[in-house]
Structure formats: structure tokens, C-alpha cells
Amino acid sequence: MLDAKVAALLNDQINKELYSAYLYLDMSNYYNEEGLEGFQNWYYVQAQEERDHAMLFMQYLQNNGEKVTLEAIAKPDKVFTDHRMPLAEGLAHEKYVSSLIHTIYDAAYSVKDYRTMQFLDWFVKEQGEEENTADTLLKKYDLYGADARALYMLDNELAARTYTAPTLTL
């Protein structure tokens, strides 16, 4: 049985991950409307990843005999006014999610919940990768976004991204 605070934080993380999926779907829709199909694809794949992260948290709670409570998912509240804005918001959001994972890890550490800490190790690493990828994408846009041909090439690069489900053993 998990510590009550740890279980509550893990359960709340399900909602946060599903919100992340909604946010990235919103970004995907924005880029679709702007005719940037590669950017659209990149955020669509990102939404799939976040959905699967939520499922991993849910499965972990279930595997540990905990009740899962699904809460309402908030509507993304950003109105994107330029092509750079979703990229900057994406980076800020990944940093926020990292802070949430660290909070859960701290709670698990404080009660010597080594199994949950081991489970979270994958997410700690994943968040580092997510932040790095979002930062790199923003830097590329800042370098190339003003040049239509370079933006076209970046869009084509992002169109090649495919989804691979996580391989985390619970």
C-alpha cells in the first residue's frame, strides 16, 4: 500500500498528464490552421506521449492496489498569436511537469517508498529529454523561423516524427 500523500500526488499526475495531452493537441490544431503540417505532427505525437504517461501512472496505482480517481481535464487557455508562442509555451510546460515529477519523488523519498522512486526514475529521465527537445526546437525556430525556406525545411523535419510507445516495465 502506498503512502496516502504519494498516492494522491500520483493520482493527480494522471490529470496533469492528460491536460498536457490536451495542451499539445491544442498546439497541433493551431499549427494545422497555420498550414505547418510538420509542427502539427510533432505536437500530435507529443500529445500521444502524454496520454501514455497518464496511462502509466494509472497502471502503477492500480498495480499497487490504489483507487484511481479521474478528474475533469481543464481546457487549454492559451491563444497563440504567432508560430513561436506554442514552442515557448511547450518548453515552459515541460519544465512545470518536471517540477511535478520532482515533487512526487520528494514525497516518495520522505517515506522511503523505494518502489515508487524507482518507477519515477524513468519519468525524471524522460522529463530531462523532453525539456532538452523542447529547448532545441525553440532554438531552431529562433534561428530559422524568419526565413520561409528554412521554416519549410524545419517543418518537413518535424513531419518525419513518429510515435513510439514507452517501454516502461511496471
Residue of 103, 125, 99, 119 whose CA lies nearest to 57:
119
Interatomic CA distance for residues 111 and 12, integer angstroms: 18
List, as own/partner pairs, every contact residues 149-155 make where C-beta atoms lie below 8 angstroms and the sequence separation is at least 24, other chains included. 151/36, 151/83, 154/38, 155/36, 155/37, 155/38, 155/39
Instruction: Please give the angle made by the CA atoms of 101, 104 and 108, to the nearest 5 degrees.
Output: 135
- The amino acid present at 15, given as its one-letter code, is N
CATH topology of domain 4-159: Ferritin (1.20.1260)
Asked if 61 and 4 touch (Cβ cutoff 8 Å), the reply is no
pLDDT band at 160 (very low <50, low <70, confident <90, very high): very high
How sure is the predictor about 169, in pLDDT bands with cuts at 50, 70 and 90?
Answer: low
Kindly state the cell numbers that stand for 60. 502503477
Give the integer Cα–Cα distance in Å for 144 and 151: 6
Q: CA 74 from chain center: how many Å?
A: 15
With a pLDDT cut of 70, the percent of the chain lying above it is: 98
pLDDT of res. 168 = 66
137-150 exposure pattern, b = at least 16 Cβ within 10 A, e = fewer? bbebbeebbeeeee
For 91-102, write each residue's pLDDT tens digit: 999 999 999 999
pLDDT digits (tens, 9 = 90+) for 9-45: 999 999 999 999 999 999 999 999 999 999 999 999 9
CA atoms of 49 and 129, how far apart (whole Å): 13
Rounded Cα distance between 76 and 73, Å, is 9
* pLDDT tens digits along 110-124: 999 999 999 999 999
Is the alpha carbon torsion for 79, 84, 88, 91 positive or negative?
positive
- What is residue 165's predicted lDDT score, i.e. its pLDDT? 79
Is the overall model pTM greater than 0.85, yes or no? yes
CA–CA separation, 52 and 62 (whole Å): 15
